[in-house]
Amino acid sequence: MRKKEAFQRYKKIKFFFAADAGKVRDKEIAVVSLTQKNDSEVITLPTGQKSLLIGAGKTRKINSRTLIILSRTVISLAKQNNIKKLALNFMDFAFPHLKLKSSAIAEMLAVNFEMANFEFVQYKTSPAKGWNFVREVTIISKDSAVKKAVGKGQTIGEEVNNTRVLANSPGGVMTPKVLAQKAKEAGRKYNFKVRVLGLKEIQKMKMGGVLAVAGGSREEPKFIIIEYMSGGKEKPVVLVGKGVTFDSGGLNLKPGESMQGMHTDMSGGAAVISALTLAARLKLKKNIVGLVPAVENMPSGSSYRPGDIVETMSGKTIEVLNTDAEGRVILSDALTYAVRYNPKLVVDIATLTGAAMIALGQRASAVFTKDLKLENLIRELGEQSGDYVWPLPLWDEYEEDIKGTFGDITNTGRNRYGGAITAAIFLYQFAKEYPWVHIDIAPRTTAVEGELLAKGACGAPVRLLIKLLEQA
Ligand code: BES
Ligand code: MN
Ligand code: ZN
């Protein structure tokens, strides 16, 4: 029997602040300095103190994107060298040519330190000497705005990592029921309302899409409703997240290796839960609603079938051509449910299509909207936050591609071309009553090499969402 202590979770960094470098003479604390070289290294100073020389390259080439990677390099190099305590001079990172406020840089540093330090180790036996997480970071700065922004950044980083924990958790663990419990726990801890509809209530609501996809699984569907209302009489922003806790494809079973990683198919739902948690933790004066239809897509005698015609909550019927295009089927009901909030904006977040990955690679989520202003805002916030997005068209012409023969609309296009777009135009059929943005995060389901994040989920697009919620 393995002892429980053998497992250990990631713990957040302890930040300290010092007025000047003289305060950090502790031998255990490694000093960070930036160099104009391209490579980074660790050296030992004559005093015995370690120093992390971070290759930042030519100063004029530094931009907000490279600064993110630079800040992660600090943590990544420390971990590789088993250095647990760091000190850095804030001014070294405050490049004037970027024309960023120090609070923006401080926030970015803290977010990315947390993200780079995180690893999903809770199912791995601890090494004898423990994990090599960075424990303490001392920031040399007298600016109280810096201190405050570091605190905020750390909270954001923590919730990004929490999204990663939810997404990385195995499908057999992170079932619809458990995902709903996690939302409830967060609501109790940070004081916001979470209501969970079970099978009976979902039936009563006539959410035919959710019921169809959940049919094949022994896990009951849950419809998670989160309400954070601190914005007085303002109309709310509604976030909708795809919560497929495991996507086997259903009767159109995914072949070979393409089923691997499908426990992360609730990443959109996880991001919505974390974004609302963040809004509460940061005490935003806004009204925000989160909706997460949570189901498992499995093959069995009770599965929905190709050829089935599903009546959704909206009354529109879906002709099922492929049971593996399940995300849009459950989201149809959530988008309909959103209407009751009379929202000023609805944003849905979903690991919706492999086609979005084919189109964009793994470095940007696909964004779809009819509203050019919103599109530009989201691209801009994507740049600022590091959750990059890129637009694809949502033209009415594409509606032709999902016209049903025996139902109103089909859940796949006529052919394999433009699969991310046909999925988006499908969702649009249920989102015509309010301003709407769809973000297909399938490209960002997992971190890629070079971005200095641990393998597995990367927590997209929580950083973008919190910036959007602050502004919307
Ligand atoms: N969850 C998948 C999309 C996905 C694929 C996310 C790879 C992350 C990585 C989605 O439910 C799906 O299976 N989509 C199908 C749609 C097709 C059947 C029209 C796809 O993309 O192949
Ligand atoms: Mn699928
Ligand atoms: Zn899916």
pLDDT tens-place string over residues 274-316:
999 999 999 999 999 999 999 999 999 999 999 999 999 999 9
Q: Are 297 and 323 in contact (CB under 8 A)?
A: yes
Known catalytic residue at 206:
no
User: pTM of the entire structure?
Assistant: 0.98
- Residue 5 has what pLDDT? 63
CB within 8 Å of 55: residues ≥ 6 apart: 35, 36, 37, 38, 39, 40, 41, 73
Indicate the domain borders of the chain.
3-139, 164-471
* CATH number 3.40.220.10 is the correct assignment for the domain at 3-139: yes
- Ligand 1, atom 14: closest residue by C-alpha: 353
Report the distance separating Cα 239 and Cα 254, nearest Å: 28
Q: What mean pLDDT comes out for the span 131-146?
A: 97
- Residue 21 has what pLDDT? 83
Known catalytic residue at 189:
no
- Residue 22 has what pLDDT? 78
Protein residues near ligand 3, an ion, with CB under 5 A: 244, 247, 265, 327
Report the distance separating Cα 220 and Cα 389, nearest Å: 33
Q: How confident is the model at residue 1 (pLDDT cuts 50, 70, 90)?
A: very low
Q: How confident is the model at residue 146 (pLDDT cuts 50, 70, 90)?
A: very high
- Residue 4 has what pLDDT? 58
CATH level 2 (architecture), domain 164-471: 3-Layer(aba) Sandwich (3.40)
Q: What mean pLDDT comes out for the span 317-326?
A: 99
- Residue 95 has what pLDDT? 97
Task: Count H helices and E strands in the chain, helices first.
Answer: 13, 18
350 CA distance to ligand 3 centroid (A)? 8
Q: Is the CB of 245 under 6 A from ligand 1?
A: no
Catalytic position from the list 254, 344, 370, 379: 254
